Amino acid sequence: MRPLYDPSGFLRALRTRALRTPASRFRESAREGFLQAYEDLGKLRNAAHSRDREESREMAIWYTGGAMAILFCLERHVPSTDRRVFAELRGLGTLGRRICELRYGSFSPRETARRADRIWGALRAQAARQGIRVDDVP
């Protein structure tokens, strides 16, 4: 945001405050993201178990949206725009690239589930390193 007229500095102060989100907010959001994404991971696993390629593909798309949100929180990264979130995700290292590959790649149901589980494990490990409790999320 670039205010055109802000003589009192109110908008400038608001923008500065928004850019300094406390780490606790990111941790809370990441934890909530784990709880929400776990349901999609379960559905993806079920589809892969039944060898349903179409359902596996659809659930991979849902799951990667949640995984992306978790990684953004773990990295304390606020995307610049909604349209470029997956472009920015690729810039967040190997895990970000793996999430993009799962979202946009075409894999067998078994391989889709394997990749999703690998991403899940990496997200959990990163959360644990940051002291975010996800013990109650399988």
Res. 82: pLDDT tops 90: no
Report residue 63 as tokens: 């799951």
∠58-77-39 over CA atoms, to 5°?
Answer: 30
> What pLDDT, on the 0 to 100 scale, is given for residue 1?
58
What's 72's domain CATH number? 1.20.120
**Rounded CA gap, 21 and 46, in Å?**
37
Of 75, 46, 81, residue with least CA distance to 60: 46
What is the number of domains present in the chain? 1
- 3-class DSSP assignment, residue 21: coil
Q: 118 is in which domain, residue-wise?
A: 22-129
Per-residue pLDDT, 137:
72
CB 110 within 8 A of CB 48: yes
Q: Distance between CA atoms of 69 and 110, rounded to whole angstroms? A: 24
pTM of full prediction above 0.75: yes
pLDDT in tens, 4-34: 788 898 888 887 777 777 888 888 999 999 9
Is 5 contained in some domain?
no
Q: Is residue 112 part of a domain?
A: yes
Is 57 within a domain? yes
Comparing 91 with 46, which gets the higher pLDDT?
Answer: 46
Identify the weakest region by mean pLDDT among 13-22, 72-81, 121-130.
13-22
Residue type at position 13: A
Is 138 contained in some domain? Answer: no
For residue 125, being part of any structural domain is answered with yes
Is 103 among the domain residues? Answer: yes
Residue 88: inside a domain, yes or no?
yes
15: in domain: no
Q: Is the pLDDT of residue 71 over 80?
A: yes
